[in-house]
């Protein structure tokens, strides 16, 4: 189980329509662990467990982490809890993870955000600026700019272009991205329809030159080829049968394994574990092909062999 740390809400304020911005600090004022731009934080929601939110502050700031959360009517309860937090509240969080990193080798960065999907790019912007990088961010939204205070200096500097679809037709994503050229890296974070449009616009681009981050897990279809298998924990040797299509995460916990989880949709990385034997079926959206040779996401993975042994 990842270590949880205690944080204090140093500031809570509105940051656009339906958006709550929190500044989190160590209760005793100690520096916080360093984070990478694009990282997210799992806040532990009482009674619900971890919920992932992108860190949107400058990673160079050592004593504060920032998140901005939109109140979602169809949420699982996390956003409503965040919106009830006030200055002085105490929260628990897992250590930040980064599954949406900047491409270090890129010479130009083009980013597209949909609404609250702007948050990871707010952390990337100061890093890219200090590097002297060539970058531009397009923010698409309806009737109310997200995080206007954070975006204002970048808009003034010509680094950010805002597109309010209530005032003008939504721009074509391919036009915003332009043609691919060597060194160009594209990023997108937003609702599912936007991500699908982004993937279509970059389908012919070289592998790895376009990255996406979901802020809600997409629907996970059932696998008609799913089969039963025996799950074994290498350290204890305990094992049990998992029915076809059954939850690997639930099976691990039933065997006594302590596995953290947040999104339970294969997009956040909280439940990543190492596998040792067998043939996992990977259905997550974040592990690289190389990483999948040794690791899996327990919330969505299945197994194509008779036996799966994991390092727990």
Going by pLDDT thresholds of 50, 70 and 90, the confidence category of residue 75 is confident
pLDDT digits (tens, 9 = 90+) for 204-226: 999 999 999 997 888 888 889 99
Mean pLDDT within 281-300? 95
pLDDT computed for residue 73 by the predictor: 82
Q: What is the pLDDT of residue 238?
A: 97
What is the bridge-based pairing of β-strands 229-233 and 307-310? Answer: parallel
Considering the domain delimited by 108-214, tell me its CATH architecture: 3-Layer(aba) Sandwich (3.40)
Q: Which residue has the tokens 């074509």?
A: 172
Cα atoms found within 13 Å of the Cα of residue 157, Cβ hemisphere only: 14
* The CATH number of the domain covering residues in 229-310: 3.10.20.30
Averaged pLDDT of the chain: 95
pLDDT at 10: 98
Q: What is the mean pLDDT of residues 230-253?
A: 96
* Mean pLDDT to the nearest integer, 101-106: 96
What pLDDT is attached to residue 219?
85
Q: What share of the chain has pLDDT > 90, as a percent?
A: 88
- Per CATH, 4-98 and 108-214 having the same topology is answered no
Residue pair 55/35 in contact by the 8 Å Cβ criterion = yes
pLDDT band at 30 (very low <50, low <70, confident <90, very high): very high
Spell out the domain ranges in the chain: 4-98, 108-214, 229-310
Structure confidence by residue, pLDDT tens digits, 244-280: 999 999 999 999 999 988 889 999 998 999 999 999 9
Predicted local confidence at residue 1, as pLDDT: 45
pTM for this predicted structure: 0.88
DSSP notation for 19-83: EEEEEEE-TT-PPPPP--TTEEEEEEETTTEEEEEEB-S-TT-SS-EEEEEE--TTS-SHHHHHH
Give residue 217's pLDDT: 83
Print burial letters for 279-306: b (CB count within 10 Å at least 16), e (below 16).
ebbbbbbbbeeeeeeebbbbbbbbbeee
User: How many CA atoms lie within 13 Å of 262's alpha carbon, on the beta-carbon side?
Assistant: 25
Structure tokens at 158: 């010509």
In the predicted structure, residue 146 carries a pLDDT above the cut 70: yes
Average pLDDT over residues 141-150: 94
User: In terms of DSSP H, where are the helices of the chain?
Assistant: 78-83, 119-131, 148-156, 173-177, 192-201, 248-254
Tokens representing residue 132 in the block: 């002297």
Is residue 239 over pLDDT 60? yes
Q: Which fold has domain 4-98?
A: Elongation Factor Tu (Ef-tu); domain 3 (2.40.30)
Do strands 97-98 and 39-45 pair parallel, antiparallel, or not at all (unpaired)? antiparallel
Minimum mean pLDDT among 128-132, 142-146, 201-205: which range? 142-146
User: What is d(CA 44, CA 51) in angstroms, rounded to the nearest whole number?
Assistant: 6
């Amino acid at each position: 189980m990842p270590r949880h740390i205690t944080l204090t809400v140093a500031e809570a304020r509105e940051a656009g329509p339906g958006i709550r911005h929190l500044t989190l600090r160590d209760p005793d004022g100690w520096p916080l662990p360093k984070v990478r731009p694009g990282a997210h934080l799992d806040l532990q929601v009482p009674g619900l467990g971890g919920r992932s939110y992108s860190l949107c502050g400058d990673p160079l700031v050592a004593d504060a982490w920032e998140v901005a959360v939109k109140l979602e009517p169809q949420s699982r309860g996390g956003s409503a809890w965040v919106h009830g937090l006030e200055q002085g509240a105490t929260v628990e969080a897992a250590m930040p993870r980064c599954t949406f990193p900047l491409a270090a080798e890129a010479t130009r960065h083009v980013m597209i955000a949909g609404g609250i999907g702007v948050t990871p790019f707010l952390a990337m912007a100061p890093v890219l600026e200090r590097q002297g990088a060539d970058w531009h961010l397009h923010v698409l939204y309806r009737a109310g700019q997200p995080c206007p205070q954070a975006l204002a200096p970048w808009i003034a500097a010509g680094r950010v272009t805002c597109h309010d679809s209530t005032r003008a037709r939504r721009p074509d994503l391919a036009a915003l991205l332009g043609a691919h050229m060597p060194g160009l890296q594209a990023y997108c974070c937003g609702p599912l329809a936007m991500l699908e449009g982004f993937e279509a616009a970059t389908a012919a681009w070289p592998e790895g030159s376009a990255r996406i981050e979901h802020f809600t897990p997409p629907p996970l279809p059932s696998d008609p080829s799913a089969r039963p298998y025996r799950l074994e924990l290498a350290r204890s040797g305990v094992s049990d049968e998992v029915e076809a299509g059954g939850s690997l995460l639930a099976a691990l916990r039933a065997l006594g394994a302590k596995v953290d989880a947040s999104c339970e949709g294969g997009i956040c990385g909280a439940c990543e574990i190492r596998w040792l034997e067998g043939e996992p079926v990977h259905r997550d959206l974040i592990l690289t092909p190389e990483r999948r040779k040794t690791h899996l996401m327990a919330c969505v993975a299945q197994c194509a062999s008779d036996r799966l042994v994991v390092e727990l």
